[in-house]
Amino acid sequence: MTVLDKPVSPRTSPGPAPARTRRTTAWLLTAGLVAGLLVLVPVAAGTGAYPVPVADVLGSLLHRAGLGGTELDRVAESVLWNVRFPRIVLALLVGASLGCAGALMQGVFGNPLAEPGVIGVSSGAAVGAVGAIAFGLNFLGNWTVSVFAFVSGLITVLVVYAMSRSGGRTEVVTLILTGIAVNAFAGALIGLFLFFADTAAVNQITFWQLGSLAQATWPKVLAVLPCAALGLGLAPLYARRLDLLALGERPARHLGVEVERLRIVLVLVIALLTAAAVSVAGVIGFVGLVVPHLLRMAAGPGHRFLIPGSALLGALVLLAADLAARTVAAPAELPLGVLTALLGSPFFFWLLRRTRRRQGGWA
């Protein structure tokens, strides 16, 4: 018997190794992301024009939670709990929503270039929010802007989905061209709203165009929390079906997946997450594109880790970006959407060239 004829023993079989390796990598990445958030949150809370030592930040957190700690002076407490912590919580919610929406959108479209900002969904949601501001609509209270952002974001997702499909599949070039058209049309509508808006509304609309968390307050956190929590809670439930959908529509149907129903439900979840982010932070691009790709390259394409991992990494990335936006050019503050676009655009160009070389294959 030659070496080639010898049976491969279970100990040396290469089959299960990649799966075990990916599971181990996923656990390690999850632990690393959670640890990164636990470190970055107190650092971000203590950094700014009025610095607060990290030990004092942790002491204030423990005191508020009734676990001991120490209460700080009135100014430090006010800075932490009325300015910094609302902004941090909002950054975590927005980043998690954008990261999760990006992972879902890439799975639904079966395309590595799908992202709420790139294909115009964020701009479409911003049109609804800006329209509500420009015309002074407030009949739903704090929910008005979020509802308008959700409706316009949902319409945009449906339009992009319908226009980018050809022959039962989503084409890269068609997806990008659709995004260009949607972004241009959304920009024209926002410009039209600016023309009719008064001075106060113009200032608010500028905020939506550039993207920022500077106006974060606890009421805004409470307004966006239900939408973000619902979307983030529903998304992991569809991880297995997205894995099956990645095999192709026909194999997925044979395996019991109701493909069109799955897509409709996930389009609603994507619109919900995008509206949650846009309604409080404006247009912040490329987070939903970069984050899932980094995780996919590190731990593989499985959505059971990719969806919650994208939420965690999205929260970490946006919190770090917001910290940089308010400290790099202090005392001035860089627009958050501009900063993420400057960092995400080169990645997008590289990814587009890589994807075209693979003729639209997954990264």
Q: What digits encode the pLDDT tens for the residues 173-230?
A: 777 788 888 889 988 998 888 888 888 788 777 766 788 898 888 988 988 898 899 9
Does the pLDDT value for residue 22 go beyond 80?
Answer: no
Residue 360 CA to residue 363 CA, distance in Å, equals 9
Does the pLDDT value for residue 339 go beyond 80?
Answer: yes
pLDDT in tens, 168-185: 666 667 777 888 888 899
CA-closest candidate to residue 101, choices 285, 356, 330: 285
Q: In the predicted model, what is the mean pLDDT of residues 219-247? A: 91
Confidence band for 14, pLDDT divided at 50, 70 and 90: very low
CA-closest candidate to residue 52, choices 68, 74, 76: 76
pLDDT at residue number 44 = 95
pLDDT at residue number 169 = 65
CA-closest candidate to residue 82, choices 215, 177, 188: 215
Structural domains of the chain, ranges and CATH numbers in brackets: 97-354 (1.10.3470.10)
CA-closest candidate to residue 275, choices 143, 172, 171: 143
Please report, in angstroms and rounded to a whole number, the separation of the first and last CA atoms in the chain: 42
Does the pLDDT value for residue 17 go beyond 60?
Answer: no
Residue 223 CA to residue 69 CA, distance in Å, equals 30
Q: What percent of the chain has pLDDT over 70?
A: 90
Structure tokens at 180: 């260009």
